[in-house]
Amino acid sequence: METLHKSILLFDGECNLCEASVLFVLKHEKKSHLYFCPLQSITGVQILKQHGIDSKTIESVVLIENNKAYTKSTAALRVLKYLKIPYSLGYLFIIIPSGIRNYLYLWIAKKRFKWFGKKDSCIVPSDELLKRFL
């Protein structure tokens, strides 16, 4: 699969918070530039491997832009650039040092299943959105 020129958001397909986040992005994008892929899928594992990320240990969303992988809070904040105002203004939080941002990100990530629950399977997109999922 050719992913070199695509912006791809890899997300935990079993996480309710992650699914809600994907649906939020789809609803509020400026233009349809992002593609989506569950981390657990065959394609997701292949993309992670291409970028030197171990699919068995990753506990973060991963954003692929210009063939570069971003993780944790940097990935989440960079996704905001794809959204309409006022959501895109959240990208300004990138000025906060990554150590602080990632501490908060990982704290939420560790509690996401307790707070939001876990799914047995990942999102099944509508026919209209299917072309946006890898």
Q: What is the mean pLDDT of the chain?
A: 88
- In this prediction, residue 99 has a pLDDT band, given cuts at 50, 70 and 90, of very high
The dihedral sign for the CA sequence 103, 40, 23, 17? negative
Name the band, by pLDDT with cuts 50, 70 and 90, for residue 118.
Answer: confident
First to last CA, the chain: 9
Specify the DSSP element, H or E, that contains 101: helix 98-116
pLDDT for residue 125: 63
Collapsing DSSP states into helix, strand and coil, what is residue 17? helix
**Domain layout of the chain by residue ranges:** 7-127
**CA-to-CA distance for 100 and 105, rounded, in angstroms?**
9
What is the reported pLDDT for 4? 55
Specify the pLDDT at position 3.
Answer: 55
Residue where the block lists tokens 């990208």 = 91
Confidence category of residue 57, pLDDT binned at 50, 70, 90: confident
Helix (H) or strand (E) holding 23, with range, is helix 16-28
Residue 5 is predicted with a pLDDT of: 64
Per-residue model confidence (pLDDT) at position 59? 82
pTM of the model: 0.87
Taking the C-alpha atoms of residue 33 and residue 111, their distance in angstroms, rounded to an integer, is 30
Structure tokens at 69: 């992988």
Q: Is the pLDDT of residue 82 over 80?
A: yes
Q: Which DSSP letter does residue 121 get?
A: S
pLDDT at site 6: 82
| pLDDT tens, residue by residue, 2-39 | 555 689 999 988 888 888 899 999 999 999 889 999 99
